[in-house]
């Protein structure tokens, strides 16, 4: 069965939008931790606040894991199988970075800033890789769309008709 590239690209686009929404919902919590680290005020975060942030991060990570299941269930067209595999690996790395960031927060011990910073770097790299995959898929979609339009134009032109 031939896979529909347009359907696949739309499904990936929906996944990216869902991922962005989850990230946006957690961003203010992330910024609070980042600012505390940057201003050397980690000790000022209460255990209750740390617990709240950790719970928000855990919830977001669980949502990312559900999205990962959607990615695994997608059936990419042959044209993008390789880039789909890279997308899967990149998303797995992104989730791993999220889990590490969550693990860096402890209401009793505070923030493991080394782990927090390395998890942030891991997420940034994974995000760059995911963006690369999306761009590559979009370019593939556009180039094949133009090719299909060109083929239709050729088929409709009078010199290619057989009567």
Q: CB–CB of 122/92 below 8 Å?
A: no
Residue corresponding to tokens 């950790």: 54
pTM of structure:
0.83
Please state at what angle helix 47-73 crosses helix 81-103, rounded to 10 degrees.
Answer: 160
The CATH code that applies to domain 5-160 is 1.20.120
Amino acid 89: pLDDT: 98
Q: Please, what is the average pLDDT of the chain? A: 87
Range with lowest mean pLDDT among 10-24, 35-49, 54-68, 131-145: 131-145
Radius of gyration of the chain (CA): 22
- The C-alpha atoms of residue 136 and residue 144 are separated, in whole angstroms, by 12
Average pLDDT, integer, range 137-156: 54
Say if residue 56's pLDDT is above 60.
yes
Measured torsion, CA atoms of residues 94, 95, 101, 104, in degrees rounded to the nearest 10: -140
Instruction: Output the CA angle 90-91-93, nearest 5 degrees.
Output: 65
- The C-alpha atoms of residue 96 and residue 104 are separated, in whole angstroms, by 12
């Amino acid at each position: 069965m031939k896979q529909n590239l347009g359907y696949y690209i739309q499904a990936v686009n929906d996944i990216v939008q869902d991922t962005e929404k989850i990230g946006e919902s957690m961003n203010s919590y992330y910024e609070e931790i980042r600012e505390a680290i940057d201003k050397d005020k980690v000790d000022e975060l209460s255990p209750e606040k740390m617990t709240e942030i950790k719970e928000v991060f855990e919830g977001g990570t669980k949502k990312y894991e559900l999205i990962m299941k959607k990615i695994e269930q997608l059936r990419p067209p042959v044209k993008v199988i390789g880039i789909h595999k890279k997308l899967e690996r990149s998303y797995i790395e992104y989730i791993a970075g999220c889990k590490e960031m969550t693990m860096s927060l402890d209401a009793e011990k505070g923030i493991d800033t080394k782990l927090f910073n390395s998890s942030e770097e891991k997420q940034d790299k994974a995000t760059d890789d995911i963006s690369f995959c999306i761009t590559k898929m979009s370019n593939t979609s556009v180039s094949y769309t133009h090719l299909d339009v060109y083929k239709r134009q050729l088929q409709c032109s009078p010199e290619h008709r057989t009567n």
